[in-house]
Amino acid sequence: MEGGLIVSTKTRARRASHKTGVAAFARGSKPWHSVVPCGAPPATKPMPVFSPPISIAVAPGYSFTNDASGNATFDAQYTFLTSVAGVDTSNSGAPIVILAESMSLSGGTINASAFGQVLLAPATPTNNISLNPATPPANALTLMSADLNSITAGSLQLGYRNIDGTVTGAFTGNIDIAGNTQINTNLINDGFGDSTLLLVTGGAVTQSGGTLGATGPNALQLGILAGAATLDQKNNVGTLAAYVDGGNFSFVNDSSALTIGTLAFSGGQPGIAFVNGFPLPIGMVGPAPNPLAGITATNGTINVDVTTSGNLIIASGATVTAGGGNNVVLSTVGDFVNNEVATPCRRRAAGAG
């Protein structure tokens, strides 16, 4: 794919422009923005980029490449700041948003600190996101483990909705776990024992060929905000919360306890507002809880199954609700523990297969 935005450490950080692309470095509380218009040749932004927050939007059809990491030249010029990554808000904990048709992140680093969030999504909102596919599919933002492992943040969000939770004009492609995906909780870690992955779309979350889990000190917190979701592989997640408003929800957890609870992470799930083409992250409002809590399918069934070993726990304050008179089936080979006595669901007894 020709054209796009390349983040590089080849030259020192400065304010720069290109006749067909725009790049700027901002200090203080102002955001750093970059937009590369359709038809633009590759544009190199001297890096590291450091600013609270950072929003990068590459025109549909073009790519984003990060090959930058901490830069001693940058640190020498801006002595009041210390860069630890190529795209860096670690001194402020501000969010980082990157929208591009394709991304190559493994050659550099991105750091929003334990207090910040990183959000990745395609520039074309109807394209899909594919995690660890054997062969990158067409019309999809492909993210491999090496890309994800270049990110340090309190939480990682893939996809987005509008700030009011609606999907018109927002990301409506599917998010597919195509190959085994392990989130490194040393890197995605809020410093308080919570590591959160958010999958957000107006489309579906699917699992065509791989499991989802975590490596590192923390169990993974998984939040899903989607039209529908089917994750029926042998996943390994500690805490689950979901809101689907277009279809059914199903999830399988294997060989570990699963808590249906409230996600604990700084900032809650952001929506995206586009201002003059720039994607700005703003706390989401609307019918879905923020942060996500419990499991709701507004017009579909809910199936959650813990297999091989492990208890299934509904935490206090979390409900499991299927609208439209649909069924809820919760099953586990271990114990079923309901700490939310008002949970409106039908459930199988503990030990049901």
175-214: pLDDT as tens digits: 999 999 999 999 999 999 999 999 999 999 999 999 999 9
Q: Which long-range contacts link 167-171 to residues 24+ away (Cβ below 8 Å)?
A: 167/201, 167/202, 167/227, 169/125, 169/274, 170/125, 170/202, 170/271, 170/272, 171/121, 171/122, 171/125, 171/200, 171/201, 171/202, 171/203
Q: What is the mean pLDDT of residues 53-62?
A: 91
Q: What is the mean pLDDT of residues 309-316?
A: 97
Least confident piece of the model among 243-252, 274-283, 286-295: 274-283
- CA 160-39-96 angle, 5° bins: 30
More confident: 25 or 247 = 247
More confident: 43 or 173 = 173
Cis ω for the linkage preceding 48 (within 30 of 0):
yes
Q: How far apart are CA 312 and CA 64, in angstroms?
A: 41
pLDDT digits (tens, 9 = 90+) for 61-115: 999 999 988 766 666 666 556 667 888 888 888 999 999 999 999 999 999 999 9
Residue 350 confidence (pLDDT):
43
DSSP designation for 201: -
